[in-house]
Amino acid sequence: MSQPSDFIYLSPPHMGGSEQQYIQQAFDQNWITTAGANVNGFEQELATYTGVSSAAALVSGTAALHLALLALGVGPGDEVFCSTFTFVASTNPIRYVVATPVLIDSEPTTWNLCPTALEDAFKDRQKKGKLPKALMLVHLYGMPSHMQEIQEITNRYGVPIIEDAAEALGSKYNGQFLGTFGKAGVFSFNGNKIITTSGGGALISDDPGLVEQARWLSMQAKDNLPYYHHTSMGFNYRMSNISAGIGRGQLEVLEKRVQQKRKVFDTYRQLLQDVEELEWHLEPEGFYSNRWLSCFTIRKGSSLTPEALRLELLAVNIESRPLWYPMHLQPLYRECDYFGARVSDDLFARGLCLPSGSNLSFSDQERVADAVRKAFLS
C-alpha cells in the first residue's frame, strides 16, 4: 500500500552507492544463482569485519537460527532456553527442530535476558536432571546483553550460546562485536535492518566446521559425489549471488550507518529532553549499541499510552512501533515454561520505537519530536 510522500518510515533501506556495481558484476559474469564471487566475498568480508574465522550467507536470519540449532545437534525432546522478549523468528526455529522453548525474562536496563532468571531456569532444570541443549540469546534493538554474567552461567552448566544478533550488527560489548561471544552468531539483513541484502541473513562462528556444516545443509545437504546423493535432510537456504552483491555494497558503509543511527538516537534525546515522561533506552558502561531503533518507555503514571502515541503519530504520517510482545504472552507459546518477574510485560506495556532510519533528516526528526511533544501536551 502506498503512503503519502511525506510519510516517515520506521527504518527504511539506505543504499550506499556501490551495490549496483556488485550486482552488475554478477550479471556480467552470468552468476545469477546461489554461487559466485559475491556470495563468497560477502562471507569473507563479514567474517573479517566481525573478527571470526567463518561465515555462511543465507536467505534469512531465521534460516541461520534454524541451521545453528541443527549444527549444534538440537532435536526432538531437547529444550532450548530463549529470551522471551523478542520477535517470533527467535523461537520458531526451536520448534522447526522439534525442540521445546523455555522462555527467560528480561532485566530492565538493557531489556535483554536477565541473568538472575537464567540462573533460576538452570537450577530448575538441573534439579530435574535435564539441562537445555542451547541458549538462544537475543540482543534487542542493537543493545548488548550482559554477556559476562550470562557466559559465566552457561559455562558453568556447559551449555552453548547461539547469539541472535539479528538487530545488532556493529554493536559491541566491552569492545567485542556481538555475534562473536557464542558458539554461533546470527545476523539479519532484512530491508529494515542496519544494512540489508533485501532479504537475507548470516551465521558466523569461530568454529569453521560448524559453519561448513550449516553451509552444506543450506544447499540441500548434497553429498560429495558427482550425482545427487543425500544422507541428511537439507534446505534451500543459500543466499543468492545478487543479494550478496547488495550486501557487499552495504558492508562498505556499515560503520557509517552505525554512526548515523547513533546520531539519530542522540538527536531525539536532545530534541525531547523537555518531555519528562520519556525514559530512554540507555547504554550501561562498556555497552555499545548500533541503535538500530531509537526506543523509550513512558514513565508509569502518564496518561498517555504507547498505543495512543502511536496512533497520534500515524495520524500525521509518522510510523512508530510497539516494543516486542513477549513470547510467553503469545498464543503460540503461552504453554511454554517461563522464568522471570514479568519485566518484559511491563516494557511492552510502556515502550515505543520511533522512526530511526540512517537517512532520516534533521527536519524530519524535528517533525517527529514536535508530534511526540504535542501528544504529551494535549
Active site residues: 193
Q: Give me the phi and psi of 251, to 5 degrees please.
A: -60, -30
Helix, strand or coil for residue 187?
A: strand
**Three cell numbers at 365?**
526528526
d(CA 151, CA 115): 9
Task: Report CA-CA distances (Å) from 287 to 111, 113, 169, 171, 290.
Answer: 13, 15, 14, 8, 10
The number of residues making up the chain comes to 378
The H or E element that residue 298 is part of is: strand 294-298
d(CA 35, CA 91): 29
Cβ atoms of 291 and 48 within 8 Å: the answer is no
Q: Would you call 322 exposed, middle or buried from its count of C-beta atoms within 10 A (0-12, 13-18, 19+)? A: middle
d(CA 297, CA 45): 37
Cell 530512554 sits on residue:
280
Q: What DSSP letter does each residue of 304-347 carry, written as one string?
A: --HHHHHHHHHHTTB--EEPPPPGGGSTTTTTS-EES-SHHHHH
Cβ atoms of 167 and 192 within 8 Å: the answer is no
DSSP letter at 108? T
Amino acid type, 259: Q
Other CB atoms within 10 A of residue 285 CB: 5
Other CB atoms within 10 A of residue 94 CB: 27
